Structure 1
Amino acid sequence: MGERVESAFDQLQAILDNERFGSWNEDDVTTLLSLLNEYYKHQQKQQKKSDCTGEKEKDDETYLDEEDIINEMDRSLTKLRHFLQKRLPYGSVHEPNAPPLPLSTSSPSDEDKSIVKVKNNNNNNNNNNNNNNNIKAPVYPVDAFMYLEEDVEELVQQGCISREYCKTCGSVDIGLSDFITHSFSQDQLVYLSCYLLPALSDAAYIVTPDWKLQRRNEEQCKEVKLPLSTSTTTTTTAISSSSSSSSVVLTSPPFSCRHVVDVGSRLGVVLLSCYFAAQQQRLGNTEQVTGVELDNNMITLQHDVIKRFASKPSSLQLNVVHSNCFEGTGMDVLCQADVVILHNVFEYFSASPEEHLQSWQRLREILTRRGQLLICSPSLQETLAGFTEEQVRKVLTNNHNNNHNNNNNNNNNNNNHNNNHNNNNNNNNNNNNSGKEEEEVVVQEHVSPNSRKRSRDEMKNESFIEVWRRAWVEEIDVSTVRDVFFSLRQEGNNNNHNHHHCESDECCSHGEDEELLERLNSVRVYMVK
């Protein structure tokens, strides 16, 4: 082995000398190292294949094929990332880095202002000593797709961003800065396009009664005559065409993923990731991916990216719609979508928390077809938990009351005389509970018959906004698919560490695994009821 390495290095050294390797820039050197690393892994795979026999050989070949697909996706996405980094240098595009502030409900009176002024004067010394303790951590927009960890470190060295900030000026009390991203990371994109979407539309998978997506077991495969070796890309059509038996019983996939819509498509990385996955035969059941974007500059960028990286013939159609998702063409696309992808989509682009919540309410009014899927990051639970009870009551309850009064005004007029006495008594007896009853009316209006009993039982222990969410969508547990991808990616990362022989491999690998798992866990799937 050592002789072969030395011989290969001697040949490579001559080539590098001819190409003036000493004058190469850092990007060219990084590309060369990446290619050498891929070659090393390819040689390892070939060695494994030659050592395998029998049934184990089939399993290893399947595993290696999966790894080949992931590596090819990584290569394609890396080319896209380098293009975007040159096209959009850091700081060239304004990105929001903070959520909106709540709307002010009332202004302080003169008396309140004087009280505050006296209080400030009395505590002036304490404020001087502790004022800087309230300094919030700076937040830098760092796109998770465009900037890997080594890219972030380069931005730090260039002075574009800082990892730390001084919490109390002149002391050693140092805090960590926060980073915010408005794009999926590369790992999330590969997981989404090569594993999650294919599994959701694969007849080899089922959704269990407890809303868990999992592969059919041996008995279930026999019932529907599915081959046990079906891969995640197998479709009902493929089974039909490959089967020679006329008695094969076909089954429908768990969900339809024919039309996928990315809301706020920005750089177009979701569209391109799906295109690359289709090139790897991983999206056989997806026919169309549409990006909905409001920013004109981003629309131009997406068209350029598609023209440059998606020029090969493909069964997957890519579309870019320049529109607000709540009106016109954008709303029409959402209504037609089988899958709607929402990544950090409304919060940082809203003028206030109330406007943010109104966006979710409007989205709910549009996405009403049972079986439509929402793929959200962060989770809906995390997003909706950020609203206060006052904001929820103000937005959801008031809007419901306006619609309810308009729809039922005529009916109430006809029955006012007969029910007037009873209504007065009920109002006196239930005055303290009117708020809770009002909330229940809002929720139950949208609860499907299948979930009505559960929602009523859980309403006492759940917040109003959580019941509102449950009345709209049900979360699908996709941990089975996520764990498969995590294992493959984890194995690939471990191989890289073993190859580079880092002294702190174990520590680095553990940290990378935790970060990867956290990012994958943040991608949640919901079905409209």
Structure 2
Amino acid sequence: MSSKKDGWKVNETREAKAAITEILSKLEIDQVIEIKDWLNKYVEETPSSQICSNYQKEQRKKMFDKGASRLDRIATYLKDKEVDVPSKAPNKLKYPTEGFDSDCNELNTCEIDSFLYDDEDIEELVQRDVLSRTYCPTCLSRETVPLNFISHSLSRLQVKFLFDKLMPSTCQHVLDIGSRLGAIVYGASIFTRGNVSTVGVEMDSEYAAISLNTIRQFGLKKIEILRDDIRHLPHVFKENQFIVMNNVFSFFLSKTEQEECWEFLHTHMRPGTVLAHHPPIEK
């Protein structure tokens, strides 16, 4: 791997020298000498991070693009195993009766996992009559009124955004509450190159088993999956921690249980915690 990287650096250096030579060839010798003196001074007096800032940005972009491709492969792997196959059948969830998402109910809502299925996938499923976008509120036929589409996973683009733009570099621990199929924990390992410790908490034993198997299959590092209720796990909270919650309580717990979870979080979150929550926390 190192020899391949060294080869890239040699090629980049050769190309840079050729470009500089081309520029200098268009100047008079006194201009060349002036540029040489300026360049020596610039390199001596300017921090290396500033000199190479574009290079570092480009390397980060390449790393995240490569990570996004790896997430795509994980999603394809799980779809091929027919994990969480979308269905026309109504969902059996605890639908909110007030506040955010209170317009969702068993008849007007279709649950589909955004980590596995993007907009193009959904359209393909609709065209194949695997899914419907509509239903009739009178006879319950799904043909006339638009359905609500919900997901309890973040999409791959959202996962990339979390670790590219939202997680501070000071955070050394990631906690995913309601880990489900593992989208966040996979992203944490991939986009930080396994340099942060990650814990996924998931109450559903089937989802937890899927995540553990996928972690092994793709050789992801520094991830722990706990099949438990977050209220039983005060030890998972760390200082300088990035906590991710994707609408994790409202469709699965009673209102009283949700209040207990928020009280527990308020009690146990540590200094330096950054909480990324969807929907916006005030809702």
2:223 paired residue number: 318
Matches of 1:60 and 1:336, distance apart in 2: 32
**What is the letter of the counterpart of residue 345 of structure 1?**
V
2:115 paired residue number: 145
**What is the letter of the counterpart of residue 302 of structure 1?**
S
Equivalent runs, 1:394-473 vs 2, <5 Å: none
1:278 paired residue number: 192
Contact 1:142 1:181 in 2 (8 A): yes
Look up the SS of the partner of 2:72 in the other structure. helix
Residue number among 180, 184, 198 corresponding to 1:289 in the alignment: 198
**What is the letter of the counterpart of residue 266 of structure 2?**
R
Shift of 1:180: 0.7
RMSD: 3.5
1:261 paired residue number: 175
Equivalent runs, 1:101-500 vs 2, <5 Å: 101=97, 138-166=108-136, 174-197=144-167, 200-201=168-169, 256-279=170-193, 286-310=195-219, 317-327=222-232, 330-334=233-237, 338-350=241-253, 352-367=254-269, 369-382=270-283
**What is the letter of the counterpart of residue 307 of structure 1?**
R
Distance of aligned partners of 1:180 and 1:52 in 2 relative to their CA distance in 1, 3 Å threshold: farther
**What is the letter of the counterpart of residue 73 of structure 2?**
K
Matches of 2:268 and 2:204, distance apart in 1: 22
Distance of aligned partners of 1:338 and 1:59 in 2 relative to their CA distance in 1, 3 Å threshold: closer
**What is the letter of the counterpart of residue 67 of structure 2?**
M
Look up the SS of the partner of 1:291 in the other structure. strand
2:85 paired residue number: 90
Q: Which has the larger radius of gyration?
A: 1
Matches of 2:277 and 2:223, distance apart in 1: 21
**What is the letter of the counterpart of residue 260 of structure 1?**
V
Matches of 1:185 and 1:301, distance apart in 2: 18
Shift of 1:72: 0.8
Matches of 1:377 and 1:91, distance apart in 2: 22
Distance of aligned partners of 1:99 and 1:139 in 2 relative to their CA distance in 1, 3 Å threshold: same
Distance of aligned partners of 1:52 and 1:273 in 2 relative to their CA distance in 1, 3 Å threshold: farther
Shift of 1:362: 2.6
Matches of 1:258 and 1:64, distance apart in 2: 23
Matches of 1:52 and 1:298, distance apart in 2: 54
Contact 2:64 2:191 in 1 (8 A): no
Distance of aligned partners of 1:95 and 1:77 in 2 relative to their CA distance in 1, 3 Å threshold: farther
Distance of aligned partners of 1:137 and 1:176 in 2 relative to their CA distance in 1, 3 Å threshold: farther
2:66 paired residue number: 72
Look up the SS of the partner of 1:266 in the other structure. coil
Distance of aligned partners of 1:272 and 1:167 in 2 relative to their CA distance in 1, 3 Å threshold: same
Look up the SS of the partner of 2:230 in the other structure. coil
Contact 2:95 2:106 in 1 (8 A): no
Contact 1:272 1:309 in 2 (8 A): no
Structure 2: any 5+ residue segments left out of the alignment? 1-11, 24-38, 40-50, 99-104
Look up the SS of the partner of 1:348 in the other structure. coil
**What is the letter of the counterpart of residue 90 of structure 1?**
V
Matches of 1:343 and 1:378, distance apart in 2: 7
Shift of 1:142: 1.1
Shift of 1:375: 1.6
Percent identity between the two aligned chains: 25
- Of 352-361 and 149-158, deviating more is 352-361
**What is the letter of the counterpart of residue 125 of structure 2?**
L
Matches of 1:324 and 1:78, distance apart in 2: 29
More helix by share: 1
- Of 290-299 and 151-160, deviating more is 151-160
Contact 1:96 1:348 in 2 (8 A): no
Shift of 1:52: 7.7
Look up the SS of the partner of 1:70 in the other structure. helix
Contact 2:135 2:146 in 1 (8 A): yes
Matches of 1:326 and 1:269, distance apart in 2: 22
Distance of aligned partners of 1:372 and 1:148 in 2 relative to their CA distance in 1, 3 Å threshold: same
